[in-house]
Structure 1
């Protein structure tokens, strides 16, 4: 049978394309591709040399091998498929069109082959880049997976199937689907415009093969989709939500069985399309996709109907077993299934004996807030404009034999703050190479001026912590690469009008051989690295000096905490500690957090030497199956032997604790009906900061837990009931010794009220004396800063402590700790020091009359001047303080003292008016008794 030749009705011979120009365009495309590949290979080489210098070349090779394997497979699959498709299209066109009717490129075989090769290669590069970029980790974890020793309750698969196998197979199917859809679009466009599907057998074969493959892949995706019901709370395509995260009643009854039907339907549809093509039956071809869509809609409608008319009227009973699954597996996923729970009455009495038993707790109560404290550090301890403190962290040290909590920050170098004339390549790369030293201060002491009392300060560092190697080459700044041991001496630190210089003494950088200089000159796009005469063979390149970039480059498969903290080791060297997490969003029945994952552990602590840049990945949780899988993939990466002086500074990470506490707000409920109704939801309390109410974040304190024998470094988070402000419980994470990582929950009895943080804040606002003082300090160019409100549990007693900062509106002002507010039960006091506040509370608890004549325990704290002698004593003290402030040039403080003097005099005058009674008049009776008012 001969086919009639198809002619374009309006065909006009096109102007011939210049062959030389076409070849030049093809050559330019090849050259561009070669250049891009070459630049990529240079980057790989630079990365390998750097990883090898750190001792992690095995990690690099393992990841690179997986990427090359997937890249090669993806490149061959994507490029060959497209190339063969283009050849088939050209063949069909040549068979059915006269040469003069064909596009020029179809008539030129060599040009067509070159162009097709370029297009297929570019498509292969694009597809393989996606495959190796997204698939290498799935491939390696799939190959090396470790069992979780827990099975899901619906299909009976080990959790590892959902964490490793399911994502890998979904990725494979999705990649192939993307390829087939692109090929179908190309074939459908090329063959459809020329109507070749009816006339060319080869075109039909190509197209039907693609359609069959599409049907098989869609069917496989539907079949795998039944497992996705355990990883979602969506019931159907109408985005209807279930009360259960994971497979619900509707999923088990409708969605999981229908996955088998949906898995077969696309394959049958593909067969029907094939038959329709060969029989030239357009109706059959058009009807099959419509039927497939109708089946999809029918399944979604069935799920909607079951949910609406079967589940909703009796939801709790229908979903009861699945609620149990959600409760159990969510607790497992976040490590909340082994929390030890206690009852804390919160009603203990404050006494001197209790305070003596908990003296170390009191000595470590934080009266500084790290948020305004960072400004103080940057103004008082940077010394020069090019130094900067990025953060102030809380840690603990043994100082003079006493376990003390301290604030600590690293003084890093920020070359962006160098003067404009100093922003030269030599200065930024060879001379200004490192920061210098730390600053540390007590958490519980301030100077008479309200500033932190420094434990370590100045340049070189001096103080209670012995820092023997203060140079900081690696830190949190966005550092560029530097070269050390050149002919240029490095700037170390300023000393008077001159600068002290330094020479790098470690051997941890990349040696600057001629080959390495060429590689990194290319990689850094800096020819000076190769041509500069200031660089010698003894020089070393320090690369990736930002510690987060450094550790992510070595182990990109871990998730990292964004709050590294500096530690002074026993030998005086400085290291950074970063918490590393393993996470997944594929844990069945576990509700995800806001960031998307629904499983998290902290099995690794990363330690980076601030001087050498050496990186150690220390294991702290060997039970984590995700870590075990990575340990199988990278056997030389993780270390188990941890130096004791580093282990002593491990902190339970705030981010992990926040995620756990957030989930625990709901999943602390064990009664299924209470859990279903969310009757006992908890919330994070709020506190006052500046003039805003903000959510209270977890905080570190040193305290002695109930039933424990000594103080520990604890991370705690209070809870309040949902939509109420009283405190219902507090969650604690232990940080020290063998108890590291243990979670404890202390509940308060529901039958009594325990003040929550916001209630204390409100009572502070309502206290006449305190609110008056805060308002006075906020006038005349000053403002007050309400610091962290800390809830301090001491046995069965609760103290609430909040520092009050006073700061000028000037941008260069220093926040000063002006007062300390301490609350206990119904008492609130504000004093100059924490010790004075505690003494005042003890007096009030004992029911003593205070020295100012007011009955202890009254909320009103406005002092009542009783005698002229008392007034004179107070004014004398205030005047002495005023004179000292004026002598020290502390004008703002002097102004506040003068305001207080005027207030005392005004109060005295008002007192005299009230106490003066006209002769012969009687004062009002008190408590029903006659009281004579003698003038």
Structure 2
């Protein structure tokens, strides 16, 4: 072979090796670039090294354990060749033809290595468990049974169970493998077919089985400790049967396991198999008796006839620890009188609360946003968020949504690689309306929106582009030869272009990176495209839920991130929770965990993609442990920008979980709890034609005893078997009071209307029900909005908006508002008129004034022209179809819109 050919082969080998490395490592390399981009490289390194270290340790353990056992077995095997062919057994044939001691050792190495890798999945994902064990913190609270800190159960017990599973698997695996070779090479000796022979085979195998019993004895001790999470009894946690039968039973089984191990070890000397068999049979019988028969017998004949007396002490533990685990012990309870003494003067003094009543239900409002503010078919509003802003020096509750670019909605002719990866890269701005304001046409009063972004209340948005959001699923390329599509121009079919200049993304500054990402995303065009330049960047993990989970998958994230304007930029705020199912005596929630804290707030920049984790509950031991594992990841809440901090809010998902637990665990008296005498349910309402549990809702009101209004999240309760209201839960959101939970209970000597009773009164009111029936008969669908229960001045006000939607239209209109107070109920076209109908004409000046409709500055008529064109085109379509009613309805809407234009737009 010539030198040139050798060089070619060497270069080809290097190329193939590099290709293989890049192909197999592209995911890791791409993740390395990603963590470098967000400034959290140390998190990736910690995870990679910890996971690799645990996997290596587990593989090494299995390899050494298997190999040492196999190596020991060679000492008791005879490898002397047999000369006579007539007497060959299988062993002798293998020894004569194939096996030498050296070859067998090499084979054992291979078998051990295979076994180690075969069992290595046991280590998958266990590195965090190991790290938590090494850096475990304390809860500062001991369990009531064994008096161990709860941190032992959350951080250490799972690690011990992991070690136990490794030991049991290793011992059983080694016994099976060595047993196979003993059967292969010395079947008569191993099976005891030769009388009186007790060889090293038996001794070795006996030691493995004895070790298995010793390990199992430790397993029974762990089972005994884990009884504080027993799910078998009347409640979660160790009950009477667990403590009086299973606890001593597990200790007895541990002792029997040790005795069996001792018998097996002694048998290697005395060689009495009957004694070993008797010991193992005694263990099996004891296990069946203690684990199955005795607990069922004691439960049925001793506990059930006098259940409460037997279980009361342990029921107290369950109540106490469940309340602690879900934060219910922090709730402050007081009575709410629910008087019928509200006057028009009182309403005037509560003007701010009335101005912020959320009339817009997010479900029909999302359809309205889609019709009026998406502008183009490829824009989309994923959901509607609720928040509060200081507008015109007053607190205003608003509804808002991000206008994101949904590439799935691009026209088919535009769905190509250039458009989806380089041209159509980002959403633009948002739409916002006050939660209580409506136009004369029943539409929301937009105070921000349009393209380009406009606001008539002074909201500043210096960077409206959304590169990271809820709908941004695929990777994109910025800095290409062509500029990016920014937003459609108001004139004709033109559009405005933009070039990304943010800090997000990974530079594609050389060809190797393009190759890496081509492998990572399985897209050859990243290599072949001429649109990519050395200045280009690739932005990936842009979907914010995916982004935060990639960085820190060890938190549970809320399903509903919400958008915030702060400092002229758009940010997403996402609530993150620490969970565990290892909390002693705490009843699990429906989702399976029995401890939860909203300990972290995550803030994501919608333009740059930067991610910051803020520790809002530094007393949570789980987040403290995570902070030790990932130093520098969590920032103190004091480091959060003050303008962003003003938009922190208590998560509805957490309140729903706590409310479901509070429905029973507000009863701290064990007798009441046992009999469920005062059990609650989350109040129900009508949504469409279905009855369902109410969702927590935000509102602005002045809590009893407070001097000013604040932003709260609240949820009403009803008794378990009735529909009257019994209490309401409030979470405070502002300033130093953030996170405080308040429970207001109603007097027990009278009945307070619950939401479903108000719904029934609406259906039974002759005027309202007749009007609803009439609308339904004229081709319109009546949509009931959220029924809001509003505590005002120690009284309760009920408000429900009604939306009308024609069968042909997807544009619901808020047309009526129902107000109920005491025995009075009324429906009117505005909240002001409904309040007047309930409280009389003496009501002072209207508490809610329609704000000026959102208009683009400088006489820009794009918004009105677009809506007018839509109404006119729809009218013409209905005219062609012979739908005269629909035609007339659209023309009426068009007339109202033209009147608004004439009144509000200056020439």
Is structure 2 residue 623 aligned with structure 1 residue 627? yes
Is structure 2 residue 445 aligned with structure 1 residue 453? yes
| Alignment match, 2:361 | 369
| Alignment match, 1:157 | 148
Residue 307 of structure 1 and its aligned partner are, at CA, apart by 2.8
Shift of the 661–106 alpha-carbon distance from structure 1 to 2, 3 Å rule, reads: farther
Deviates more, 1:665-674 or 1:829-838: 665-674
| Alignment match, 1:349 | 341
C-alpha distance in 2, partners of 1:172/1:887?
Answer: 71
C-alpha distance in 2, partners of 1:111/1:386?
Answer: 68
Q: Secondary structure at the match of 1:596?
A: coil
Shift of the 614–97 alpha-carbon distance from structure 1 to 2, 3 Å rule, reads: farther
Residue 84 of structure 1 and its aligned partner are, at CA, apart by 5.3
Matches within 5 A, 1:65-144: 65-83=49-67, 95=79, 97-98=89-90, 101-102=93-94, 107=99, 120-131=112-123, 133-144=124-135
C-alpha distance in 2, partners of 1:113/1:485?
Answer: 60
Residue 423 of structure 1 and its aligned partner are, at CA, apart by 2.3
> 8 Å contact 2:23–2:516 — kept in the other structure?
no
Residue 113 of structure 1 and its aligned partner are, at CA, apart by 7.3
Residue 781 of structure 1 and its aligned partner are, at CA, apart by 3.5
C-alpha distance in 2, partners of 1:76/1:34?
Answer: 28
Residue 704 of structure 1 and its aligned partner are, at CA, apart by 1.0
C-alpha distance in 2, partners of 1:773/1:115?
Answer: 87
Task: Choose which of 825, 843, 857 in structure 2 pairs with 1:828.
Answer: 825
Deviates more, 1:166-175 or 1:713-722: 166-175
Is structure 2 residue 248 aligned with structure 1 residue 257? yes
| Alignment match, 2:515 | 518
C-alpha distance in 1, partners of 2:403/2:731?
Answer: 30
RMSD: 3.0
| Alignment match, 1:198 | 191
Shift of the 289–435 alpha-carbon distance from structure 1 to 2, 3 Å rule, reads: farther
Total equivalences in the alignment: 820
Shift of the 38–896 alpha-carbon distance from structure 1 to 2, 3 Å rule, reads: closer
Matches within 5 A, 1:220-235: 220-234=218-232
| Alignment match, 1:843 | 840
| Alignment match, 1:471 | 465
Deviations 1:458-497 (A, max 9, x none): 1112123322211100011251111211212111111130
Shift of the 322–536 alpha-carbon distance from structure 1 to 2, 3 Å rule, reads: same
Is structure 2 residue 545 aligned with structure 1 residue 548? yes
Deviations 1:195-239 (A, max 9, x none): 5523694543442233123212211111111111111232xxxxx
Residue 93 of structure 1 and its aligned partner are, at CA, apart by 7.8
Shift of the 526–701 alpha-carbon distance from structure 1 to 2, 3 Å rule, reads: same
> 8 Å contact 2:800–2:819 — kept in the other structure?
yes
Task: Choose which of 749, 752, 759 in structure 1 pairs with 2:750.
Answer: 752
Q: Secondary structure at the match of 1:446?
A: coil
Shift of the 344–461 alpha-carbon distance from structure 1 to 2, 3 Å rule, reads: same
List gaps (5 residues or longer) in structure 2.
1-15, 80-87, 193-197, 844-870, 890-907
| Alignment match, 1:691 | 689
Deviations 1:170-189 (A, max 9, x none): 11112322333334344455
| Alignment match, 2:412 | 420
| Alignment match, 2:901 | none
Shift of the 482–38 alpha-carbon distance from structure 1 to 2, 3 Å rule, reads: closer
> 8 Å contact 1:88–1:203 — kept in the other structure?
no
C-alpha distance in 2, partners of 1:655/1:621?
Answer: 17
Residue 359 of structure 1 and its aligned partner are, at CA, apart by 0.6
Is structure 2 residue 727 aligned with structure 1 residue 729? yes
Q: Greater RCO between the two (CA within 8 Å, min separation 6)?
A: 2
Deviations 1:552-597 (A, max 9, x none): 111121111111011111x221000000111111111111101111
C-alpha distance in 1, partners of 2:620/2:551?
Answer: 20
Is structure 2 residue 650 aligned with structure 1 residue 637? no
TM-score w.r.t. length of structure 2: 0.85
Is structure 2 residue 357 aligned with structure 1 residue 388? no
> 8 Å contact 1:715–1:734 — kept in the other structure?
yes
TM-score w.r.t. length of structure 1: 0.82
List gaps (5 residues or longer) in structure 1.
1-31, 235-240, 847-884, 899-935
| Alignment match, 1:298 | 289
Residue 39 of structure 1 and its aligned partner are, at CA, apart by 5.1
Shift of the 432–205 alpha-carbon distance from structure 1 to 2, 3 Å rule, reads: farther
> 8 Å contact 2:340–2:822 — kept in the other structure?
no
Is structure 2 residue 160 aligned with structure 1 residue 173? no
Task: Choose which of 36, 53, 56 in structure 1 pairs with 2:40.
Answer: 56
Q: Secondary structure at the match of 2:495?
A: strand
Q: Secondary structure at the match of 1:701?
A: strand
Deviates more, 1:778-787 or 1:354-363: 778-787
C-alpha distance in 2, partners of 1:700/1:370?
Answer: 12
C-alpha distance in 2, partners of 1:257/1:33?
Answer: 61
> 8 Å contact 2:508–2:537 — kept in the other structure?
yes
Deviations 1:742-786 (A, max 9, x none): 000111001111000111111111122222222222234432211
| Alignment match, 2:260 | 269
Matches within 5 A, 1:796-875: 796-810=794-808, 813-843=810-840
Deviates more, 1:376-385 or 1:571-580: 376-385
